[in-house]
Every structure is written in C-alpha cells, then in structure tokens.
Chains A and B, each alone.
Chain A
Amino acid sequence: MSRVHPEYDESRRLVDGSIRTADDGDPVLVGTECAECGFVVFPTRPFCRNCLSENVDDIDLSRNGELRTYTVAHTGQEGFEPPYAFGFVDLPEGVRLYSLLKGWESGTLEVGAPVELTLDEIKPDPKTGEPLFGHVFRLVEGDDD
C-alpha cells in the first residue's frame, strides 16, 4: 500500500513546508532542530522556540510514532466526512503532533498503538474543490492482516 496518495501534488499542501516526498518515494515530515539546545519542533520554524537561537536546521522526522490519544468525530468541520478519527502522535524525536488517523476500524484505535506516516488527502480546498494534502498517520497493520 503506497504511503503517498496517487494524486498528491506539492502545490496543494495544506501546511507549507511540513511534509515532502523523500528520494525513496515515501513521505517525510520536516521539522526544525536547534544546534544549540537540541530542541526539535514541528512544523519548521526560523528560530528555536526553547533557547531562541537562530542556529537551527530543518530535519527529517521519524515516519513511525506512537498514538498518545485519539477520538472519532461523528460530527465535524465542513469538508470532513464523519466518522473521522484524529489524535496526537508522539515521535521519537520528542515531537508531539496532531494528525488525522486512517487505517482504523471501530475499536482498533488505542493509546500506545504504533502508527506510520502517510501523505494523504485532508479536505477539499473550499475555493476550488480540489483535494488538499498533508500528513495522516495510519495504524501499523498487525500480523493477522
């Protein structure tokens, strides 16, 4: 199963600079690491949130993380078809981020579940109706699948 939506187009990223496709064709989240204090932030930033240094570099973040918590929304924002799931994902770099969740069925989401990054449709552009893309984490498939 591809980790990048077949219609993905860089011009239609919902959050600029937050995600790209790597040389291996898989998606990667881009964060910023501080060379002074080591603080890592997502999405990218021009200076360090922790020590204020400008001595920072963009880095690729891990594709695999752990679900910290989640919910399934049965009523939601316009452009999102319920039921849809979202939660907070912890990455090994010490970054926690909000993400829509896919690859779940009723009852399969749980705290601590391993999740992996995909680049998927988020919602239609309210002006053009064209899909907007971004990071979506999906449950890592178990052995019994």
Chain B
Amino acid sequence: MTERDVAVVGVGQSDFGELEGQRVTEFGGRAVREALLASNLDNDAVEEAYIGNVASAAQDQTGVVGQAVLREVGVTGIPITRVENACASSTCAFREAYKSIRSNERDVVLALGVEKMTGVPTDVALKDMSGASDAEVEGPMGMTFMGVYGMRANAYMDRFGDVREELADIAVKNHANGLANPHAHLHLDVDRDDVLESRMVADPIRLLDACPMSDGAAAAVLARGDVAEQLSDEPVYVDAVEASSGHYLDSDLEYWREELDERVSEQAYREAGIGPDDLDVVEVHDAATIGELMHYEGLGLASHGKGASLVRNGDVMLDGRIPVNPSGGLKSRGHPVGATGVAQVCELVWQLRGEAGDRQVEDPTIGLAQNSGGALVGEGGVSTVTILSTR
C-alpha cells in the first residue's frame, strides 16, 4: 500500500426510471446524500466534485447542473466541473476524481452522474441522443443509435454466424438480475421468446434487446487510501481507470471487433496487475445485447467469435464463473446516460462489500466496469474500463 492509493469510501444511487415530477436536483441530491452518509463524511469534507451529465444544458435546465445538485446537499464553495462524454460521461467524471487524488492534489473528491431523459419533449430527447454521433453526415442522414448496434450485430453475425438466441438470452439474464435490484428501471420477467418476438427496432436489434431511456443519478466518494481506511472498514480500492477513443482515420476497422475495448482493457489490466481470468464480477455497457456480447470479447473474457459460448455455458450468469451485469445492466437497471458509469461503480462496490442482496455474487474481490459512449463512423467514441478490488 502506497500513499498514492485511491479508494471508494461510499456510494449512493437514486432509483432509475421515469421519475415523473422529480427534478435533477431532487434525485441527484438523493444519490449524493446517500453516498455521503455511506462514507461517514460531512458535506464540507468534499474538496472537489466532477459531474457526468449529457443533456441538462440542451434541455434549458442549467449548464451548472453539478452546482445545482450539490447545493441540495450543502456541498458548496469548491471546484465543481461538469464532464460530458456521451454515455460514458460519469466514468470520465470518476476518472477525473481519481486523477486529482492520484496526483496528490486532493484527499476527498466526489464523482457524480445525473441525467433527466423522460418527460422532456421527444424532439429534445432525440436531439440529446443524436448528439452522440457525427453531426455532419450521420446524424442528419437518419442514423439512429440502435442502428449502430444493428450494424455491429449484422457485421458480427456475417463473420461468426447467427447469435440471435444468445442475444435474447443476454436480455433474459439481465432482466432476471434486475428483478433483484430495487433501483432498477425495468422489473420485467421475460423469456427468450418474448425477446425474439418483440418489435424490431434496428434489425436484428429488437425492443427487448435495447435499453430504456431513464432518469437517475449515482454518486461515489473517492479518497486517498489512508484517508479511506480511516473512514471505512471496507475501502474499495481503485486499481485502474482507463479510457480511450477510436482511431476514425483507418477505413479497415472491422465492425465485428471491439478493438477500442481491447486497447483500453489491456491498459487497465496492466495498470491493475491482473488479467481477465482474475475477475470475479463484471458490469458492461449493454445499451443493446450485441454490445454486451462484443464487450465479452473486447475485455478478453472470450476470444473473437466465442462470446456466445459464455452465454450458452452459463459462465456469465449470476452464479456462473464470471457473472456479468448482476445489477441488471443498462437493459434492466436503465440508462440515464450521464449517470450510467457511476451506477456501474455503485454496483461493483456493493458486490465487493457483500451488500448486493438477492443479486449478490459469491465472494467477489475484484470487479471490472466497462462503459461506452458515442460513435463516429460506427467506431466507439469512448470506452472506459475501471477495475476495483478489496485486495
């Protein structure tokens, strides 16, 4: 243990879903309040805060959404910075918090993600989402975000064969896990046929392959290792937070391959001094089921073309060799875009502390979260990999 260690002291999450009548300040404040209480910290102990958020400014709410949320819990008079990076915004906020402690600038920093997506006019909601692609050709010419996943799925199945049933099984698994998550947006009991017979969205992606648009917030308090150890009996150490973007200039990218994940996870494994076989619990960005399947391969849990076998043999089930998305994932927990990354961190912290209730994975010590955002020419805008452990 060195003094450069960083740990998560406590986390908090609001309910995810259609939080009708609730402002971002209300459910955002609730997540931060929970995180501060779980950390045994007074609000004046937070030295800096980073907030992941995508849509607030476009919705004419406020560009200082972080300050507005944190005012509700008396966290004021400190540097507060909004971080926007599509659906990976709050992992990028978490990464900034991590770096400011790693560099010895701060001892206690808050990372927050907050997003209001329902109850706003449809054209505004669609504008929020189409902003995650190229605004010169792709967005104006009709590309949809589920279309990006549809295109990846077709490229994948052209190369490796039909995986529609395994994709449906991923949705079934994540909804089953989400039934045990009280914060989840969609509490649905679905089977494979329900998924395969649901309405087509972007061939072959069907409605039940796709995540919902949600409201919600998630917060994490990070601290220097020795500070965290004073505050908590169970600090969860941050062993790596890595992020990168796509190459875009190469025209030979293969859409069946998560090359961006491969680069980011390789850096993260090296930073943490572990490999994919050491993981006990994983959260991935399953905005669509094909995303989850391809992240298995991008993270090295399976080799190219073999991701579906992890579904077939039960490895990724809650009681399997390497459980993926015990929270229910974006599929069931929901996807308030700017809050998803920190919600993944919340789940890992609860899992690593044995606090995940009926969705608890058996005795995990090392967890990984992968979060994606946006796309250009069909290649990921950002992918992040966070590794947490109780060491």
Interface on A for B, CB 8 Å cutoff? 14-15, 18, 39, 43, 49-50, 68-80, 83-84, 86-88, 90, 94-100, 109-112, 122-123, 134
Contact = CB atoms under 8 A, between A and B. Distances in A.
B43 interface: no
Contact of B138 (A39, A49, A98, A110): A98
B154 A96 contact: no
A73 B154 CA distance: 13
A100 to B, nearest CB: 6
Contact of B202 (A72, A78, A95, A111): A72
A69 B134 contact: no
A70 B151 contact: yes
B202 A74 contact: yes
Given A70-B151, A72-B203, A123 B136 contact: no
Interface string B229-270: 000000000000000000001010101000000000000000
B154 A97 contact: no
Interface string B95-123: 00000000000000000000000000001
B142 interface: yes
28 contacts: A14-B140, A15-B136, A15-B140, A50-B249, A68-B155, A69-B155, A69-B158, A70-B151, A71-B154, A72-B200, A73-B144, A73-B150, A73-B202, A73-B203, A75-B202, A77-B126, A77-B144, A79-B142, A84-B142, A86-B143, A88-B378, A97-B137, A98-B137, A98-B141, A109-B154, A111-B154, A111-B155, A123-B142
Contacts of A109: 154
Interface in B111-169: 123, 126, 130, 134, 136-138, 140-144, 146-147, 150-155, 158-159
A75 B138 CA distance: 16
A144 B140 CA distance: 35
Given A74-B199, A80-B142, A100-B142, A88 B152 contact: no
B190 interface: no
B305 to A, nearest CB: 15
Nearest to A95: B251
Contacts of B130: 77
Interface in B196-230: 199-203, 205
Contacts of A78: 123, 126
Contacts of B272: none
Interface of B: 123, 126, 130, 134, 136-138, 140-144, 146-147, 150-155, 158-159, 199-203, 205, 249, 251, 253, 255, 377-378
Contacts of B205: 71
Nearest to B139: A77
A25 to B, nearest CB: 23
Contact of A86 (B140, B142, B249): B142
Contacts of B142: 73, 76-77, 79-80, 84, 86, 100, 122-123
B147 A86 contact: yes
Contacts of A49: 249
A18 B377 CA distance: 16
A134 B199 CA distance: 30
A74 B205 CA distance: 10
Contacts of B202: 71-75
A64 B380 CA distance: 27
B141 A110 contact: no
Given A68-B155, A77-B126, A86 B251 contact: no
B326 to A, nearest CB: 30
Nearest to B253: A96
Contact of A69 (B123, B143, B154): B154
A73 B151 CA distance: 10
A78 B146 CA distance: 15
B138 A69 contact: no
Contacts of A68: 155, 255
Contact of B143 (A18, A98, A111, A134): A98
A50 B141 CA distance: 25
A123 B126 CA distance: 16
Contact of B152 (A69, A73, A95): A69
Contact of B151 (A50, A80, A87): A87
A76 B153 CA distance: 18
The 9 A-B pairs of least Cβ separation, nearest first, read: A71-B150, A111-B158, A69-B155, A96-B251, A72-B203, A69-B151, A74-B200, A80-B142, A98-B138
Given A86-B142, A87-B151, A111-B158, A98 B203 contact: no
Nearest to B122: A78
A16 B269 CA distance: 45
A95 B252 CA distance: 9
